[in-house]
Structure 1
C-alpha cells in the first residue's frame, strides 16, 4: 500500500499541485473540519460510489487517524484504482482546514 505523510501532502497543496482527496470519514466528522477541496465518500458507501472515481487518476485517501483510509486504500487498490493512504489522518494534519 502506498502512503503519503501529512507533511508531504501539505507541501503538494502549498505548491499548487492538483491532488484528488477522498475523505472516508462520516458526514458529521467531515462537517466539523476538512481539508479544502476534499470529496467526502464515507467508508461504508465507498463500494457503492467507487464508480464516481476515475481509474486514470491518483487519489489520496484520508480519515481521522489513517485506519479507515488504509482499508479504503486496500479495497480500491484491489479494484484497480491508483490510491495513496495519508498516514496519521486528520489527527496529524496541521495544514489548512475549512
Structure 2
C-alpha cells in the first residue's frame, strides 16, 4: 500500500491520468470540524462504515487518496478498496498532518 504525505498530494494528483478523488472517511462531525481543500482532486466524504454499501458510487477509473484523522481508518479503507480493484493510496498522518504540512488554517482536534 502506497502512503503519501499531505505535502506530496498535489504532486501525486498531477501525475495521474484521471482526476483523483480525495476520499474522506471520517465521521460527519469531524469533517465539519476540519476539512481539507485539495487542489487537483475532487473531495468526497463517505464515513468508513458506509463504504461497503456505497462501493458502487466510486469510479474504478479514478485514483483515490484515502484520508481520516491520523491515517488508521483510511489505511483500512484503502486496503478494502484495493481488494475490490481500486487504485488507492493512503494519506499518511491524515487531516492532522494536512494541517501541519499544507494548510495551518485547518483546525487540529
**TM exceeding 0.5:** yes
For residues 50 and 31 of structure 1, the distance between their equivalents in structure 2, rounded to whole angstroms, comes to 23
Deviation at 1:35, TM superposition (A): 1.1
Q: Which residue of 2 aligns with 1:6?
A: 6
For residues 71 and 34 of structure 1, the distance between their equivalents in structure 2, rounded to whole angstroms, comes to 20
Q: Which residue of 2 aligns with 1:68?
A: 73
Q: Which residue of 2 aligns with 1:88?
A: 93
Under a length normalisation based on structure 1, what TM-score does the superposition of the two structures give?
0.86
For residues 67 and 35 of structure 1, the distance between their equivalents in structure 2, rounded to whole angstroms, comes to 17
Under a length normalisation based on structure 2, what TM-score does the superposition of the two structures give?
0.78
Q: Which residue of 1 aligns with 2:57?
A: 52
How many residue pairs are counted as aligned between the two chains?
96
**Counterparts in 2 of 1:9 and 1:44: CA distance versus 1, 3 Å:** same
Unaligned runs of 5+ in 1: none
Deviation at 1:2, TM superposition (A): 1.4
